[in-house]
A and B are shown apart, each in its own frame.
Chain A
Amino acid sequence: MKFKREDAIHKAVELFLSPDSDFSIINLAEQLGVSANEIYEVYTGKDAVLADFYALVAEESFRLTKAIPDFHEFTLAEKLTAVVHTSFDLLDEQRDFVEQTFKSHFLDSIYYPKVEKAVRQQLKDLVNHDSGVSAYIMITQIDLVYDFYFKEYTHLLRFWLKDRSEGKEKTYALTDKLTSFVEEVLYNKVVDKGFDLAKYFLQNNIIKLPFGLNDWFKG
């Protein structure tokens, strides 16, 4: 790629919003000092460049948040909140663009899965480095949690966009509740404890299984 992805996206947003210019790949290429073909090698068209803004926001939010000096001291809910808040901040910097394109270039866009992939990967990254997450959840339910989190991330962005409360107070409250809920689900050790109890019963022959299976648990 002979141009920086961020430059292309920011320039595209600028052109899109400019009342004096007709936004096209040719215009964009001109502005970036590359050929149109070079842009087509990366993007299928001008809408793809604009849609990539939302994936960039998701990725940048995570990068910026991880750069917080005491990020490692944050709870999981605080980490997620920080990522979501940073997304709000980045979106707010291009508020006009977001208001015009949120539905067309994000929610209804064929590039939506790209954002989904980025957001799921972020949660995965955080979960993999968090010793508090329930083993049972990790083994059996983690994809459901990832799905849920991404859907809620999307809902939060939409809620933020419509929120007219002072200082976006309602959005902050909702974010706080959602991230706390996600943390609670991931940390829920009820099933882990259940397994632990069952294992103890079996190892100590309090419950007897046929075919000498208790010995297998002692192993």
Chain B
Amino acid sequence: MSDYVPSNKMERSALLLKTGANVGGQYLKHGLRNAFRKKEKRTPLSEIHTQNARTIFDALTQLRGTALKLAQGLSMDTGILPEEFADIFAGAQYNVPPINRALVRSLVRKELGKYPEQLFKSFNSTAKAAASIGQAHEAELMDGRNVIVKVQYPSVRDSISSDLAVVKGLIRQVLPREKIDVYFEEVRDKLMEETDYRIEGSQISEFRSYYQDEWLEMPEYVEEFSTERLLTMTRLSGLHIDQFLAQSPSQEERNHFGQLLWDFFHLQINDHYVFHADTHPGNYLLTDDKKLGVLDFGCVKRYPNAFFDRYMSLMPMHLNEMDELVWDAYADLEMIFPDAKKQDVEVAFYEFCLDFGKSFVEPYRHASYDFGDKNFMDQLSKYVKEISQFGEPRGSKHFIYTAKTHFGLYVLLHQLGAVVETEKGRERVMDFVASKGYAVEP
């Protein structure tokens, strides 16, 4: 099979449209077929979901780039998609067919001026992992350091614009244009940033300088072997979450891994205002010496202070029933519009968010919390689904990555079935909020 990645708008759009038609056809066929069948002989919708999820996933993986990023995003938001979709899309975390080894060799030469066999003591041209915008190869530097060399797929940047244009075109049919433009700009900017590996390299160094610790492991950026489209960093060894879970770890081990994830998230609540914003399973390792290895620094969100302080200030409000302060906070975060004509819609959305917020902070109400609790995740997923019923996207554009990070953390902890001591995290949030002059108690 050819390893070519379509990159021009026409080819990519054609593939997406073909896939759309295919999926639509399946649902239509299913409906027609079942209309003439007795109830007990009808095909369950879940079977069609699974089949269609596979079709869409195949198309997205073929396109890689933005399309695959979208799949990854969708897989994080459990509840937005039917369960069968979420299961298959979760594969997008790290199961993408790699590109031709000969092409990898050419790309290394193009970026670093020499072929891999001339630059490295060893270079495994078979990709260790292939993801949305590039693939990773294991190599050894001449000085003996074991490294990961991330090679970006050709023309990923072009495909970002064309993919977003296609997806935006579809979404514009159901949502107001002015509302979605700002979100698309945020996603586009972040994706464009992710395609510049020098930015990722400097972010690796930045995070390493802030957080490298006895329980946290960050790679080391190897700048002399990196360019805008090729990134070299030292290699961490350990298990990804799915590999870890496949070994049937004890509850104690699950709790340990979960605690590290929880602590790392809360450690980032500080005056740097910068977050590792790609909370998906492929980006974390449990290292051989039981540390948390953090892998991918392409998607790092730098928050404006005002937004982040205000977002964090919601926590004590939701926890301590300080409802009288919430309206203003939501207004500051562009979740409600006090001057809007239809105030009943604003009030309805306010009440919905208040309920959602109070549920969301549930883990912070206890000294420890069992994230394996299915009811809790089901309830959150229900809220996520219900948001779409309001018919238009709301909230500051910075919420995109906030949700991805904070909700993503919950999803990971749920997958692990971890019981986490949450108290210190809560204290950290409260101290931070208080230091910014916001109320933490009624």
Contact = CB atoms under 8 A, between A and B. Distances in A.
Interface of A: 64, 67-70, 73-74, 77-79, 81-82, 85-86, 88-89, 165-167, 169, 172-173, 176-177, 180
B354 to A, nearest CB: 49
B3 A85 contact: no
Interface stretch (B97-105, B171-179, B297-305, B319-327): B97-105
Contacts of B7: 169, 173
Given A166-B155, A169-B154, A85 B125 contact: no
Contacts of A165: 155
Max chain A Cβ within 10 angstroms of own Cβ: one of B100, B123, B126: B100
B176 to A, nearest CB: 34
Interface stretch (B19-27, B79-87, B109-117, B338-346): B109-117
B352 interface: no
B288 to A, nearest CB: 26
B154 A172 contact: yes
A68 B155 contact: no
Contacts of A73: 101, 125-126
Contacts of B105: 68, 82, 85
Contact of B117 (A69, A74, A78): A69
Contact of A81 (B1, B103, B115, B158): B103
B125 A70 contact: yes
Given A78-B102, A176-B2, A177-B4, A70 B155 contact: no
A81 B2 contact: no
Nearest to A176: B4
B106 A172 contact: yes
A74 B101 contact: yes
Interface in B88-147: 100-103, 105-106, 109-110, 115, 117, 122-126
A85 B105 CA distance: 9
A70 B4 contact: no
Q: Which 4 A-B pairs have the closest CB atoms?
A: A82-B102, A81-B102, A85-B106, A180-B2
A64 B155 CA distance: 26
Given A167-B154, A172-B154, A180-B2, A69 B122 contact: yes
**Chain A contact surface mostly:** helix
Given A68-B105, A74-B125, 16 more contacts: A68-B125, A69-B117, A69-B123, A70-B124, A73-B126, A82-B101, A82-B106, A89-B109, A166-B158, A167-B154, A167-B155, A172-B103, A172-B106, A176-B4, A176-B103, A180-B3
19 contacts: A67-B117, A73-B101, A73-B125, A79-B102, A82-B102, A85-B103, A85-B105, A86-B106, A89-B106, A89-B109, A167-B154, A169-B7, A169-B154, A169-B155, A172-B103, A173-B7, A177-B4, A180-B1, A180-B2
Interface residues of B, number: 23
Interface in B176-227: none
A177 B11 CA distance: 15
Interface string B146-168: 00000000110010000000000
Given A167-B110, A173-B4, A81 B100 contact: yes
Interface of B: 1-4, 7, 100-103, 105-106, 109-110, 115, 117, 122-126, 154-155, 158
B126 A70 contact: yes
A78 B122 contact: no
Contacts of A180: 1-3
B170 to A, nearest CB: 26
Given A169-B154, A176-B3, A68 B117 contact: yes
Contacts of B115: 64, 68
Nearest to A81: B102
A188 B320 CA distance: 71
A77 B155 CA distance: 22
Contacts of B109: 89
A68 B103 CA distance: 13
Contacts of A77: 100
A7 to B, nearest CB: 21
Nearest to A73: B126
Contact of B102 (A64, A85, A169): A85
B101 to A, nearest CB: 5
A176 B126 CA distance: 17
A86 B114 CA distance: 11
